């Protein structure tokens, strides 16, 4: 039975006993309402005061029954409350330990620092690709939201070395600094870069002047939500059809078409194969939008005689199921 329901039932029964006791004294002893209720209060509280009036043998038997009933109710109610509190604490401790164990097992995962509006949206997008996400959040008011969203999380200062190590920063592949202020993000990037020189760090910048500081601190990528939002609004005004297409392809609101990227592994059968000989269009019904070479060169709309080489990243467009099959061909492991 639900503990809260048990407490409510016990409280209702206690009220009913008080009413019955008051009525009982009024009938058995012939007392008025105030004297009868006062006697019930003395009896239920077991404070030991003397009776308000001399009591008859029948009244004494009624009082004994009332005392036994009230003591039993008090003990039951106290037990329910204690059990309610203890079980909640135990459940909280066990749940926290379970989260810590799952976080400790993460490798090549994402660490998202900050679960505000931007951090939460980002986590939802990442969760579509991987469950390996650890969130660091300092605001305890967001803990219920993190639990509701089934996120792996740690509460505390994201720039604290101990917390970052607990989140597995040395095994993580990416860290996203999405804290509330630029100062906090700069300090976080500095700390994270020292703990893991190889991790890819993306940082949020509120002010334009903060971008250079974040890059200097060690960020690989710095984005401003305000700049991105302004560009998106301008695109919707000037090129609404293009904006609509990109919204469908990039936000996964529909599965009809998506844009994805995937690296070519050394074990892929497509290594050192020209696009015209790859059969990508025939086998997977995909369009190759661009190829990012290992040295960073981006080849847009690659020609049919372009080679796909080890270390290249293929950016393709098509249906989700076709993209999945293609990615398996790029990385057969």
Q: What is the pLDDT of residues 238-297, one digit of tens each?
A: 788 877 777 766 665 555 678 888 889 888 888 898 988 888 888 888 889 899 988 888
**The pLDDT of residue 46:** 66
Q: What is the mean pLDDT of residues 123-136?
A: 90
In-domain check, residue 240: no
Sign of the alpha-carbon torsion through 228, 229, 232, 233: negative
Q: What is the mean pLDDT of residues 200-223?
A: 92
Across 144-148, 155-159, 240-244, 245-249, least confident range: 245-249
Predicted TM-score of the model (pTM):
0.59
Arithmetic mean of pLDDT over the chain? 84
Strand partners, 112: 135, 176
In-domain check, residue 175: yes
- Kind plus residue range of the DSSP H or E element containing 142: none
- Spatial neighbors of 118 by CB under 8 A, at least 6 apart, are 178, 204, 225
Show which of 229, 244, 272 is a domain's final residue.
229
Rounded Cα–Cα distance for residues 208 and 333 (Å) = 42
**The pLDDT of residue 86:** 62
CB 83 within 8 A of CB 106: no
- The SS3 of residue 71 is helix
**Residues counted in the chain:** 333
pLDDT band at 183 (very low <50, low <70, confident <90, very high): very high
Domain that holds residue 131: 106-229
pLDDT digits over 85-116, tens only? 665 555 565 667 888 889 999 999 999 999 99
Rounded Cα–Cα distance for residues 78 and 12 (Å) = 15
Rounded Cα–Cα distance for residues 301 and 298 (Å) = 10
Rounded Cα–Cα distance for residues 184 and 204 (Å) = 10
Whether residues 84 and 132 share a domain: the answer is: no
Provide the domain count of the chain: 3
């Amino acid at each position: 039975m639900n503990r809260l329901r048990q407490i409510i039932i016990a409280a209702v029964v206690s009220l009913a006993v008080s009413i019955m006791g008051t009525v009982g004294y009024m009938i058995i002893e012939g007392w008025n309402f105030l004297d009868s209720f006062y006697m019930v209060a003395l009896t239920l509280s077991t404070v030991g005061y003397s009776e308000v009036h001399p009591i008859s043998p029948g009244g004494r038997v009624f009082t004994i029954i009332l005392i036994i009933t009230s003591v039993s109710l008090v003990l039951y109610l106290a037990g329910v409350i204690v059990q309610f509190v203890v079980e909640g604490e135990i459940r909280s401790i066990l749940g926290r330990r379970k989260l810590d164990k799952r976080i400790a097992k993460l490798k090549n995962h994402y660490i998202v620092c900050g679960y505000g509006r931007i951090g939460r949206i980002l986590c939802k997008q990442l969760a579509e690709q991987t469950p390996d996400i650890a969130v660091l959040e300092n605001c305890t008011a967001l803990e219920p939201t993190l639990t509701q969203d089934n996120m792996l999380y740690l509460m505390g200062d994201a720039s604290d070395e101990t917390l970052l190590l607990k989140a597995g920063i040395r095994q993580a592949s990416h860290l996203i600094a999405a804290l509330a202020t630029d100062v906090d993000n700069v300090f976080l990037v500095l700390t994270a870069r020292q703990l893991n020189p190889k991790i890819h760090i993306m940082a949020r910048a509120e002010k334009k002047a903060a971008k250079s500081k974040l890059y200097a601190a060690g960020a690989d990528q710095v984005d401003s939500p305000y700049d991105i939002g302004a560009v998106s609004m301008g695109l919707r005004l000037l090129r609404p059809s293009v904006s609509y297409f990109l919204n469908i392809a990039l936000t996964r609101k529909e599965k009809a078409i998506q844009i994805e990227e995937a690296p070519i592994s050394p074990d892929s059968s497509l290594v050192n194969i020209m696009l015209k000989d790859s059969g990508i269009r025939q086998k997977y019904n995909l369009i190759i939008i661009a190829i990012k070479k290992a040295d960073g060169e981006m080849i847009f709309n690659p020609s049919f005689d372009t080679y796909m080489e080890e270390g290249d990243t293929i950016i393709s467009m098509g249906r989700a199921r076709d993209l999945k099959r293609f990615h398996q061909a790029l990385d057969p492991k």
